[in-house]
Structure 1
């Protein structure tokens, strides 16, 4: 388990590509939103950046039973991650961390709720969270997509350049545009390494789709 590894093992089993896109906005106190799909081992990726001195904040849906959720939190906190409970107040907490120049990491390739944004994904309609685009618009933090893939000796963490966000544009349209750019980047990365993507829940919206609250 990663929680039993020392920093040397965590770092030696990971290769980071273009991670300046994460370190620079944190060093500049601008903050950075890291959007990732369900790919590779993102706990390992988070541990890599924690081992290099970054504070990594993320969110998690409160699982039942509570005992399972507490074990989940304990594991992630043991590798240095700060996990917030996904509730009505979490966006305010995330904004606060970003305004302090921190790194916020969000799994962002699935959101079937009413607040999700419809995107074109692999030629079909899917729905992804608006949160990354909203946070980028409201805080001015960089929005970076990252794809974590499996390698023979660990993982590869591939960081893409920040997505350009236009604060002067129509808010609703810009959130939709930025979310589509995010989806396009996920699609390109998955096409290059499909076996690292492990989405095991519904993502596409078709004729029998029932919207969640």
Structure 2
């Protein structure tokens, strides 16, 4: 499976983020949801290439029925529009509002137990649900939070997100050439801070080939190597919309890393564990899996 670049879409531009921020600052959330939903409806109608890629990805989860795939992809586009609207309103304008929309936080004890060990926590998440809101759960409890992001993200969007995160004590660590970013990650873990990273980038370079949604798929080895080097806990987490259209935060049990002394085998075993957890998440919330790129070869 070759490396696939993220697919551009109508919402994946700096102007859409700035527009959402501007509207969110003067209009109620209901109006912002109305506008972004209409844009998503138009986007789903005209951008057949992206729809085809999304439905190809979803077919691994819900099967190949064309009507079901069309319905699911349309709902996914609407959910992504809601994600952007909520990001603009809650993170950038009115952070207190997110907690009125946060129905529940599952797994607080999981986090407390991992944090008590004092070696940091590697928070693993995916392009699933409203991952940007997750940091607020921590920072509004007085805890610093770190987000690892890739350099190849659209630079203008990255600047907007980084600036907004910084307003809430969320530090962005950008993966770049060289190893200085690793120092920032390790130092944060040594301070016993959470470090969050997305694991569903599916890049062959430095990746590990594992089973995922019935296909051989590359997952990053970085989280496992960091856990081995630092002793940090590896905790899957997500923030998703439930049936009531309120958010639910999940702090899952840490994934038990296995160390046999065979480094390459250990990496493969532990990365496969990570992939299995996120496969279960995606099967549970397929229309909140916001991956607009082709993952597997046709």
Which structure 2 residues correspond to residues 1-213 of structure 1 after superposition, within 5 A?
1-2=89-90, 3-7=92-96, 9-14=97-102, 15-62=104-151, 66-87=155-176, 88-89=178-179, 90-151=181-242, 152-204=244-296, 206=297
RMSD in angstroms over aligned alpha carbons? 2.0
CA–CA distance in structure 2, aligned partners of residues 94 and 198 of structure 1: 26
CA–CA distance in structure 1, aligned partners of residues 256 and 275 of structure 2: 14
CA–CA distance in structure 1, aligned partners of residues 251 and 156 of structure 2: 34
Q: Aligned-pair distance for 1:103?
A: 0.4
Taking structure 2 as the reference length, what is the TM-score of the superposition? 0.63
Contact 1:117–1:130, Cα closer than 8 Å, also in 2 = yes
Q: Secondary structure of the residue that 1:101 maps to in structure 2?
A: coil
CA–CA distance in structure 2, aligned partners of residues 64 and 12 of structure 1: 31
Q: Aligned-pair distance for 1:69?
A: 3.0
Q: Aligned-pair distance for 1:116?
A: 1.1
Taking structure 1 as the reference length, what is the TM-score of the superposition? 0.87
Q: Aligned-pair distance for 1:156?
A: 1.2
Q: Which deviates more from structure 2 when the two are superposed, residues 190-199 or residues 22-31?
A: 22-31
- Equivalences, count: 205
Q: Secondary structure of the residue that 2:254 maps to in structure 1?
A: coil
Please state which structure has a larger fraction of its residues in strand.
Answer: 1
Q: Secondary structure of the residue that 2:293 maps to in structure 1?
A: coil
Segments of 5+ residues of structure 2 without an aligned counterpart are 1-88
CA–CA distance in structure 2, aligned partners of residues 190 and 65 of structure 1: 25
Segments of 5+ residues of structure 1 without an aligned counterpart are 208-213
Closer, same or farther: CA 111–96 of 1 in aligned 2, 3 Å: farther
CA–CA distance in structure 2, aligned partners of residues 196 and 51 of structure 1: 25
Q: Deviations over 1:109-167 (max 9, x none)?
A: 22314101111111101111111111111111110111321133432122221111134
Select the structure of larger CA radius of gyration: 2
CA–CA distance in structure 2, aligned partners of residues 50 and 82 of structure 1: 11
